[in-house]
Each structure stands twice: as C-alpha cells, then as structure tokens.
C-alpha cells in the first residue's frame, strides 16, 4: 500500500487554481518534499490530504484511506506538524502532548515524547512564553504521538534561525525520522513542505 496517492487532485478558490491536476505517489519509506514559492499550493495540497478543504475535483488516499470520505481515520493515523504549530499559549507543554495522545487513542508517556524533542525541562511551563523553536519542537512532539506511519511536516524549519533549523532536522533524525534534505524530489523555489516516514 502506498503512503499517499492522488489522482488529478485539484482545488480552485474562485477563479484561481491553487492546485491543478496533481498526480502524486509517495511510497512507504519514501521522503517526499515540496519546494515552491509562496502561494504555489503546498499547504493547500497538505490541507486536502488532511480532509479540509475538500478537492474541487480529483481524489486521493492516505495510508489507504480515502482523503475525502475517511478524513477522521486519516488524521488519527498520521502525525502532522502544521504550519502555525497549533499550540495554545495558556496550556502547558505536557497538556499539549497529553491532548495529542488522547486524541489519537494512543498510550505514549507525555514526558517521553517531550524528552525526545528536548523539552522535558519545561513540561510544566505554558507555551505562551516559548520561543518559535520551542513551539515547533512541541508541535513535533504532538505529531509523534501514537508513533505514526506517516509524518506530514509543513514548513519544518521556516521561521527558525539557521541553528534552530539545524536543530529541528537533527531532532527529527534522532526520533527516528529521516530528515528532509538531500533526497527530496524538488520542483522550484525555496519554501519547503514535506512528508517524512520512518527510516
């Protein structure tokens, strides 16, 4: 079974084609990255894979689930690091991770996941005071809940300084996921979004 397939996947917003006839196959064990300028349609593609917005036309599967009609199963099976991190200023780091674990019906130890992204020392602190890199690591810990077969990382290192970007890549390697980098199939431009599977 392929990790991701799409068949002529398209999304229009009004008159504008954000994604047009995308045929994509990501196999198990493969790392797949999108490179493209701002507005190229990377996040729209990822969002369609997660169930919203629905495609204007075309179809696809994620881990065998139909992306339009089985999006709940898709979201419970994969790990996602969203572009905006999805962290809440008033919740502690541990509560974020516990929420992710419970949402997926997993049984990880929240403190183990925080240790994997080097946030064990701040488990009881609220995320409002975290730096960008800490928020991103917290989002990665949430994505790792349930040990998913597929990780979707939207803009893994955007907003981070060179050290922070290097650190995120190193952490994603350490936690058992091959870092995006040299094996990408690239299109054009600079901005990065990608899918990443356990090595």
Ligand X SMILES: Nc1ncnc2c1ncn2[C@@H]1O[C@H](COP(=O)(O)OP(=O)(O)OP(=O)(O)O)[C@@H](O)[C@H]1O
Cβ distance 110 to 122 under 8 Å?
no
- Cα 94 to the chain's mean position, in Å? 20
Told to check if 18 binds ligand X by CB under 6 A, we report: yes
Told to check if 38 binds ligand X by CB under 6 A, we report: yes
Told to check if 44 binds ligand X by CB under 6 A, we report: yes
Buried b (16+ CB within 10 A) or exposed e, 170-197: ebbeebebbbbeeeeeeeeeeebbbbbb
Nearer to ligand X, 146 or 194 (CB): 194
Told to check if 39 binds ligand X by CB under 6 A, we report: yes
Distances in Å between the Cα of 130 and the Cα atoms of 98, 125, 134 are 18, 9, 6
Q: Which stretch binds ligand X (CB under 6 A): 38-46, 71-79, 118-126, 131-139?
A: 38-46
Cβ distance 100 to 132 under 8 Å?
no
Nearer to ligand X, 43 or 71 (CB): 43
Told to check if 152 binds ligand X by CB under 6 A, we report: no
Told to check if 188 binds ligand X by CB under 6 A, we report: no
Strand partners, 194: 33, 153
Told to check if 191 binds ligand X by CB under 6 A, we report: yes
Nearer to ligand X, 68 or 149 (CB): 68
- Residues in contact with ligand X by CB under 6 A are 13, 18, 36, 38-44, 191
């Amino acid at each position: 079974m392929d990790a991701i397939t799409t068949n002529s996947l398209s999304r229009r917003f009004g008159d504008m084609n954000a994604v047009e006839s995308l045929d994509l196959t990501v196999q198990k064990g493969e790392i797949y990255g999108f490179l493209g300028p701002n507005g190229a349609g990377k996040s729209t593609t990822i969002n369609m894979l997660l169930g919203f917005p629905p495609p204007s036309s075309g179809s696809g599967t994620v881990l065998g689930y139909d992306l339009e009609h089985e999006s709940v199963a898709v979201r419970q099976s994969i790990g996602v690091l969203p572009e905006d991190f999805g962290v809440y200023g008033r919740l502690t780091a541990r509560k974020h991770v516990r929420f992710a674990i419970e949402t997926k019906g997993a049984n990880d130890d929240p403190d183990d996941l925080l240790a994997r992204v080097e946030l064990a020392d701040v488990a009881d602190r609220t995320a409002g005071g975290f730096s960008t890199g800490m928020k991103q690591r917290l989002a990665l810990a949430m994505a790792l809940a349930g040990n998913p077969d597929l990780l979707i990382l939207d803009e893994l290192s955007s907003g981070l300084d060179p050290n922070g970007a290097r650190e995120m890549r190193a952490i994603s390697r350490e936690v058992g996921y091959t870092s995006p980098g040299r094996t990408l199939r690239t299109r054009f431009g600079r901005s990065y979004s990608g899918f990443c599977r356990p090595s």
